[in-house]
């Protein structure tokens, strides 16, 4: 990775979770490395992490930084320590970079103290939920097997009533009623939703296909797309649909689900170890790990430490099987973990290939934009970008 690479940073301040979701790629799939890490990130490791961010900003001239607090469940650190972390990050980066914060939480432990800390530092909040109680509580349970929906809904109500910005991250649940799920989120007052594709690989998706057919994700998402298209106002944001529309119109994707977008973030674990794309944990044990730590290595040295992750940062080649596909420039092979197999590595189309083609075809029909239209728009936008670059004064 070059020194001029601008980065966002995922900081895992907790390595444990109060829930035990059966499909979780951190705890219940291929990777087991969480067992050997401190339950919570120490103050020393957090300070070291922010120092590496500060150094990278100076090296790369990066003037804006976004820190994503993840886990495990980040609220396990407590509201007071979280507020200290946000304040310390701003203090260390003062005069170097403007800092923004997000937190991904299961929402079950939110309290008045947490809301005060979130508001004080302008933290954007993502809450994980998979639908109404009978849907969510099949998979999103605690360590005693009890459902989490009611506790999550209480947390969402606190966020909504306090005016704290939040969005819901919802994993596609094949076989569930998608419109009932979607309307449940709207009824909870949520106006920003992300629908995530399940984190399976070519080696693990077989039982899902056998049970739910060849296009379970498209069967789930297309009814939601139509409801959003015909019935929602512009204030309802569904990230995947906005990006789908964006690439169909010739733009670039702002999500990793499609577009083969180069990754521009790194992940730091509670022990300070540096990791790449977190969902690679669903592929093989230890695949996300890099042999470096914030205690000894700058982020600018990632390429030297891990040529594999350096290639991911620049965008892996289009899979062989995708090169003749009509959506090769839009889907571009799909999300990287969903491309993996032990036999061929990442040289496979996404396991959700048929789903993506069906979703693209449906969105194109609604939008009235053909593949040829997309390619013309891409060429036109590229010409505009090239003219803008050529007009810039030489340094």
As a whole number, mean pLDDT of residues 337-352 equals 95
Phi-psi region of 263 (alpha: psi -120 to 50; beta: other; left: phi over 0): beta
Which among 202, 206, 192 is positioned nearest to 159, based on CA atoms? Answer: 192
Digit-coded pLDDT (tens) for 106-115? 999 999 999 9
Q: Which residue has the tokens 């690679």?
A: 280
Q: Which residue has the tokens 């990442």?
A: 346
As a whole number, mean pLDDT of residues 253-262 equals 76
Residue 259, pLDDT > 80, answer: no
pLDDT-above-90 percentage for the chain:
82
| Strand pairing category for 265-268 and 273-275 | antiparallel
Digit-coded pLDDT (tens) for 116-172? 999 999 999 999 999 999 999 999 999 999 999 999 999 999 999 999 999 999 999
Model confidence band, residue 62 (pLDDT cutoffs 50, 70, 90): very high
As a whole number, mean pLDDT of residues 303-330 equals 87
Provide the Cα torsion 109, 41, 146, 141; round to 10°: 110
Helix (H) or strand (E) holding 173: none
Which among 373, 375, 370, 318 is positioned nearest to 349, based on CA atoms? Answer: 318
Q: Where are the domains of the chain?
A: 8-313, 318-390
Tell me, what's the pLDDT at 3?
47
Judge residue 311's burial from the number of C-beta atoms within 10 Å of its C-beta, 0-12 exposed, 13-18 middle, 19 or more buried: middle
Model confidence band, residue 12 (pLDDT cutoffs 50, 70, 90): very high
Half-sphere exposure of 97 (CA within 13 A, CB side): 27
**What dotted CATH number matches 8-313?**
3.20.20.70
In this prediction the pTM is: 0.93
Q: What single string gives the DSSP state of each residue in 216-272?
A: HHHHHHHHHHHHHHHH--TT-EEHHHHHHHHHHTT---SSSSSS-PPP-EEEE-TTS
Distance between CA atoms of residues 65 and 177, nearest Å: 39
Angle at 106 between CA 102 and CA 111, to 5 degrees: 80
């Amino acid at each position: 990775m070059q020194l001029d690479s601008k980065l966002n940073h995922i900081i895992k301040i907790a390595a444990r979770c109060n829930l035990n979701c059966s499909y979780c790629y951190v705890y219940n799939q291929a990777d087991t490395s969480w067992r050997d890490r401190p339950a919570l990130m120490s103050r020393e490791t957090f300070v070291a992490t922010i120092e590496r961010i500060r150094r990278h900003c100076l090296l790369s001239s990066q003037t804006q930084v976004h820190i994503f607090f993840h886990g495990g469940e980040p609220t396990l650190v407590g509201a007071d320590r979280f507020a200290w972390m946000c304040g310390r990050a701003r203090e260390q980066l003062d005069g170097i970079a403007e800092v923004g914060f997000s937190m991904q939480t299961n929402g079950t432990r939110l309290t008045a103290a947490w809301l005060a800390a979130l508001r004080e530092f302008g933290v954007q909040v993502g809450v994980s939920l998979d639908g109404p109680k009978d849907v969510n509580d099949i998979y999103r349970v605690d360590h005693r097997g009890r459902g989490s929906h009611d506790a999550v809904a209480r947390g969402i109500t606190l966020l909504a009533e306090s005016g704290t910005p939040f969005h819901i991250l919802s994993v596609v649940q094949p076989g569930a009623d998608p419109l009932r799920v979607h309307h449940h989120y709207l009824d909870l007052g949520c106006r920003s939703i992300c629908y995530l594709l399940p984190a399976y690989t070519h080696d693990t998706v077989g039982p899902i296909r056998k049970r739910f057919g060849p296009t379970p994700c498209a069967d789930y998402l297309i009814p939601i797309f139509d409801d959003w298209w015909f019935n929602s106002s512009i204030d309802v944001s569904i990230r995947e649909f906005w990006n789908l529309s964006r690439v169909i119109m010739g733009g670039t994707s702002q999500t990793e689900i499609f577009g083969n977008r180069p990754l521009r973030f790194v992940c730091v674990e509670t022990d300070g170890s540096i990791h790449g794309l977190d969902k690679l944990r669903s592929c093989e044990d230890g695949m996300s790990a890099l042999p470096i730590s914030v205690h000894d290595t700058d982020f600018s040295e990632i390429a030297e430490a891990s040529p594999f992750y350096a290639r991911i940062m620049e965008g892996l080649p289009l899979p062989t099987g995708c090169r003749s596909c009509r959506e090769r420039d839009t889907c571009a092979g799909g999300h990287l973990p969903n491309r993996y197999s032990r036999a061929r590595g990442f040289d496979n189309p996404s396991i959700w290939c048929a789903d993506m083609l069906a979703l693209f075809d449906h969105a194109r029909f609604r939008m009235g934009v053909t593949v040829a239209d997309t390619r013309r728009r891409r060429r036109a936008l590229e010409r505009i970008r090239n003219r803008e670059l050529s007009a810039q004064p030489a340094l």
